[in-house]
Structure 1
């Protein structure tokens, strides 16, 4: 059983955390931290992601929230931000990595920098669901053994992985759901997908749009990532509802010495770090 926290909003007054997150668990976790009296900097990669924090920034706790937009350019950028915070006499008590499970580069960079500087790093994890009726692939080359030639296949992966998925499934009729961003569309086209087979849209709340797309295109197999959370759950529902084969790209391992924590355990660990500090 995970611990139940007793906290006071005044307990962490003046202490600051750096949360790197997206639009999934990020806004809720930021809310939990603010409620506990932390000041929070949130780093997101795009203005669209920042919009998910707009109502929180405008609320009664907004003065304690800072939202920064832009990808961090490697370990040097992370180090520079930590040094700047120290120079301003406003250091971060800890960093929280709540980025996507497949965002390998930023997670590795955070682990490297924090280990080198002795800064506490906490990783928010997502529960790994049992495979069930899905087929879990160790890598995209595993598509070669899935008999996809001649079938209509929906690729619901990160845009950067589309080219590898197309190459590993020759003869399939490829379709893709990508985020509505210029870079994602460019990568889909560069992977060889036809414009009429690309759907630029964000995940819908109940995945009804995705189910309609699957039916319209006559999809028989869906390829997505074993990312956990509502997106994977949504594709599982669509595959069951529409009678599609579901192929999951296995979640990558976390960086060395990084242990994913559930939200309650992460919050409890923060409390303990402060108490010990």
Structure 2
């Protein structure tokens, strides 16, 4: 039995372990954007497939029986490719989409629908901005010549950056106390993040709430649906769904 897992998230690694323990032959596909990613058990391939057609060919050539899309909630391109490819070749797709975050008492969130909207908002209203959005979508903030941006990412960015910026190369998870020290030390008055969900990266939100810092939250893109897609929110639910197929 062969399964293809898309994504290098913690949930993807957990699913890989669960399937391997259940006797599946597992291949995990990583985008290759991080220099030294944490690798899951089983076989690993790095890089894209060449769009939906390339992925469909791979599913046929490798006799894949189920695909688990455990990519980051904002990796919309590969999610669309997975939906189209699995529909074309008749392979079931399990979409492991962890729930997004919900605003609670004391939170000061401003929800926006795009990174461009986030960049316009923070350039106008804030002065010391903490960007925790990875390195792929920093370009919209480059036009701001006046405010300071503290940018945390794993690998060096390859896009133009704001004139005033500080780069922090670090890989989480981080504790609430660590996040509070970083925000205080850099006089942060706004945090920009994506609605990724999950507990691993939530401490930055808890720290912002404790310090009374505003959060500009970029909403998730709409992901594909369909009759052959089963949506689950945890690795255990993904395994249950596969068992039922």
What's the CA shift string for 1:67-124, capped at 9, x where partnerless?
Answer: 2222333223312312321xxxxx1111000000000111111111111111111100
In the alignment, which residue of structure 1 is the partner of 2:162?
Answer: 192
In the alignment, which residue of structure 2 is the partner of 1:45?
Answer: 31
Corresponding residue to 1:98 among 66, 70, 73: 70
Distance 1:97 1:24, change over 3 A: same
Gaps of 5+ in 1: 1-14, 58-64, 86-90
- Which has the bigger relative contact order, CA under 8 A and spacing at least 6? 2
Distance 1:177 1:148, change over 3 A: farther
What's the CA shift string for 1:172-207, capped at 9, x where partnerless?
Answer: 322211222x4xx222xx13354x611122123425
Gaps of 5+ in 2: none
Give yes or no for the alignment of 1:176 onto 2:151: yes
Give yes or no for the alignment of 1:226 onto 2:212: no
Q: Retained in 1: the 8 A contact 2:134–2:152?
A: no
Q: Retained in 2: the 8 A contact 1:150–1:171?
A: no
Runs (4 or more) in structure 1 with deviation over 6 Å come to none
CA distance in 2: counterparts of 1:207 and 1:179, whole angstroms: 19
CA distance in 2: counterparts of 1:256 and 1:23, whole angstroms: 21
Distance 1:248 1:107, change over 3 A: same
Higher helix share: 1
Distance 1:208 1:84, change over 3 A: farther
What RMSD over aligned residues (CA atoms) do the two structures have, in Å?
A: 2.4
In the alignment, which residue of structure 2 is the partner of 1:153?
Answer: 129
Distance 1:205 1:175, change over 3 A: closer
Give yes or no for the alignment of 1:116 onto 2:83: no
More displaced stretch, 145-154 vs 247-256: 145-154
Larger Rg: 1
Q: Retained in 1: the 8 A contact 2:51–2:81?
A: yes
CA distance in 2: counterparts of 1:21 and 1:207, whole angstroms: 26
1:61-100 counterparts in 2 under 5 A? 65-85=42-62, 91-100=63-72
TM-score relative to the length of structure 1: 0.76
Give yes or no for the alignment of 1:248 onto 2:203: no
Distance 1:71 1:208, change over 3 A: farther
TM-score relative to the length of structure 2: 0.85
